[in-house]
Amino acid sequence: LDSEGHKALVQACRETNGSCKPFSINGSLPLVKWMQKQGYDLQLCGFGLMSVYHGVNEYCTLADMQKAYEVILRIVCLLESVSA
Protein backbone atom coordinates (compact mmCIF):
# COMPACT_ATOMS: atom_id res chain seq x y z
CA LEU A 1 0.00 0.00 0.00
CA ASP A 2 3.04 2.23 -0.06
CA SER A 3 3.53 2.02 -3.82
CA GLU A 4 3.38 5.07 -6.05
CA GLY A 5 0.52 3.48 -8.01
CA HIS A 6 -1.63 2.96 -4.92
CA LYS A 7 -0.92 6.46 -3.64
CA ALA A 8 -1.88 7.94 -7.03
CA LEU A 9 -5.07 5.86 -7.20
CA VAL A 10 -6.21 6.95 -3.73
CA GLN A 11 -5.32 10.61 -4.36
CA ALA A 12 -7.07 10.64 -7.75
CA CYS A 13 -10.22 9.10 -6.26
CA ARG A 14 -10.22 11.64 -3.42
CA GLU A 15 -9.75 14.58 -5.78
CA THR A 16 -12.41 13.36 -8.22
CA ASN A 17 -15.03 11.95 -5.85
CA GLY A 18 -14.34 13.90 -2.67
CA SER A 19 -13.46 10.75 -0.72
CA CYS A 20 -11.89 7.34 -1.14
CA LYS A 21 -12.77 4.13 0.68
CA PRO A 22 -10.42 1.37 -0.54
CA PHE A 23 -11.68 -2.17 -0.09
CA SER A 24 -10.92 -5.64 -1.28
CA ILE A 25 -13.16 -8.41 -2.55
CA ASN A 26 -11.81 -11.89 -1.99
CA GLY A 27 -10.95 -13.71 -5.13
CA SER A 28 -8.11 -15.39 -6.86
CA LEU A 29 -6.32 -13.68 -9.70
CA PRO A 30 -3.14 -15.72 -10.22
CA LEU A 31 -1.86 -13.50 -13.02
CA VAL A 32 -2.12 -10.43 -10.77
CA LYS A 33 -0.10 -12.11 -7.99
CA TRP A 34 2.47 -13.32 -10.52
CA MET A 35 2.88 -9.80 -11.96
CA GLN A 36 3.26 -8.34 -8.46
CA LYS A 37 5.95 -10.91 -7.69
CA GLN A 38 7.69 -9.81 -10.90
CA GLY A 39 7.87 -6.27 -9.49
CA TYR A 40 4.95 -4.60 -11.24
CA ASP A 41 3.06 -1.94 -9.27
CA LEU A 42 -0.35 -3.38 -10.08
CA GLN A 43 -3.60 -1.81 -8.89
CA LEU A 44 -7.08 -3.04 -9.82
CA CYS A 45 -10.12 -0.82 -9.64
CA GLY A 46 -13.65 -0.84 -10.93
CA PHE A 47 -16.07 1.97 -11.56
CA GLY A 48 -19.37 0.17 -12.05
CA LEU A 49 -22.25 -0.56 -9.75
CA MET A 50 -21.61 -3.10 -6.98
CA SER A 51 -25.32 -4.00 -6.97
CA VAL A 52 -24.99 -5.59 -10.43
CA TYR A 53 -21.34 -6.69 -10.23
CA HIS A 54 -20.99 -9.94 -12.19
CA GLY A 55 -24.77 -10.16 -12.48
CA VAL A 56 -26.62 -11.64 -15.43
CA ASN A 57 -27.41 -8.15 -16.74
CA GLU A 58 -24.35 -6.30 -15.46
CA TYR A 59 -24.23 -2.67 -16.58
CA CYS A 60 -22.73 0.70 -15.71
CA THR A 61 -23.89 4.27 -16.04
CA LEU A 62 -22.42 6.85 -18.37
CA ALA A 63 -21.94 9.18 -15.38
CA ASP A 64 -19.87 6.51 -13.59
CA MET A 65 -17.72 6.02 -16.68
CA GLN A 66 -17.19 9.77 -16.95
CA LYS A 67 -15.95 9.79 -13.33
CA ALA A 68 -13.76 6.77 -14.13
CA TYR A 69 -12.17 8.68 -17.01
CA GLU A 70 -11.46 11.62 -14.71
CA VAL A 71 -9.87 9.33 -12.11
CA ILE A 72 -7.70 7.54 -14.67
CA LEU A 73 -6.61 10.82 -16.25
CA ARG A 74 -5.61 12.13 -12.83
CA ILE A 75 -3.69 8.92 -12.03
CA VAL A 76 -1.71 9.29 -15.26
CA CYS A 77 -0.91 12.93 -14.44
CA LEU A 78 0.18 12.07 -10.89
CA LEU A 79 2.40 9.19 -11.99
CA GLU A 80 3.87 11.23 -14.82
CA SER A 81 4.97 13.89 -12.33
CA VAL A 82 6.55 11.23 -10.07
CA SER A 83 8.58 9.73 -12.91
CA ALA A 84 9.75 13.09 -14.28
- Please tell me the predicted confidence (pLDDT) of residue 27: 64
- Considering the entire predicted model, what is its pTM? 0.80
User: What's the average model confidence in pLDDT over 3-32?
Assistant: 87
Q: What is the pLDDT of residue 30?
A: 84
- Tens digits of residue pLDDT in 21-66: 887 776 667 888 888 899 998 888 888 888 888 889 999 999 999 9
Separation of alpha carbons 18 and 16, rounded Å: 6
Report the half-sphere exposure of 3 (CA within 13 A, side-chain side). Answer: 11
Q: What is the DSSP string of 18-76?
A: S-----------HHHHHHHHTT--------S-GGGTT-TT----HHHHHHHHHHHHHHH
- The conformation of residue 40, written as its DSSP 8-state character, comes to -
